[in-house]
A and B are shown apart, each in its own frame.
Chain A
Amino acid sequence: RKEVEQDPGPFNVPEGATVAFNCTYSNSASQSFFWYRQDCRKEPKLLMSVYSSGNEDGRFTAQLNRASQYISLLIRDSKLSDSATYLCVVNTPVGGYGKLTFGQGTILTVHP
Chain B
Amino acid sequence: EPEVTQTPSHQVTQMGQEVILRCVPISNHLYFYWYRQILGQKVEFLVSFYNNEISEKSEIFDDQFSVERPDGSNFTLKIRSTKLEDSAMYFCASTSQGGGELFFGEGSRLTVL
Residue ranges of A at the interface with B (Cβ–Cβ < 8 Å):
31-32, 34, 38, 41-46, 49, 87, 91, 93-105
The answer on a CB contact under 8 Å between B101 and A49 is yes
Interchain CA distance A104-B41 in the complex, whole Å: 7
The answer on a CB contact under 8 Å between B48 and A45 is no
Contacts of B101 in A (CB 8 A): 34, 46, 49
Interchain CA distance A102-B44 in the complex, whole Å: 7
Contacts of A97 in B (CB 8 A): 31, 48, 50, 55-56, 98-99
Residue ranges of B at the interface with A (Cβ–Cβ < 8 Å):
31, 33, 35, 41-45, 48, 50, 55-56, 89, 91, 98-102, 104-107
A44 contacts which of B45, B48, B50, B104 (Cβ < 8 Å)?
B104
The answer on a CB contact under 8 Å between B102 and A100 is yes
How far, in Å, is A62 (CB) from chain B's closest CB? 14
A101 contacts which of B31, B45, B55, B107 (Cβ < 8 Å)?
B45
The answer on a CB contact under 8 Å between B55 and A102 is no
Interchain CA distance A82-B103 in the complex, whole Å: 20
Interchain CA distance A87-B91 in the complex, whole Å: 15
How far, in Å, is A12 (CB) from chain B's closest CB? 18
How far, in Å, is A42 (CB) from chain B's closest CB? 7
Given A32-B99, A43-B105, A43-B106, decide whether A99 and B42 contact each other with a Cβ distance below 8 A.
Answer: no
Contacts of B43 in A (CB 8 A): 38, 44, 87, 102, 105
Contacts of A99 in B (CB 8 A): 45, 48, 56
Instruction: Name A45's closest neighbour in chain B (CB-CB).
Output: B104
Interface-centre pick from B50, B55, B99 (highest chain A CB count, 10 A):
B99
Contacts of A43 in B (CB 8 A): 91, 104-107
The answer on a CB contact under 8 Å between B55 and A95 is yes
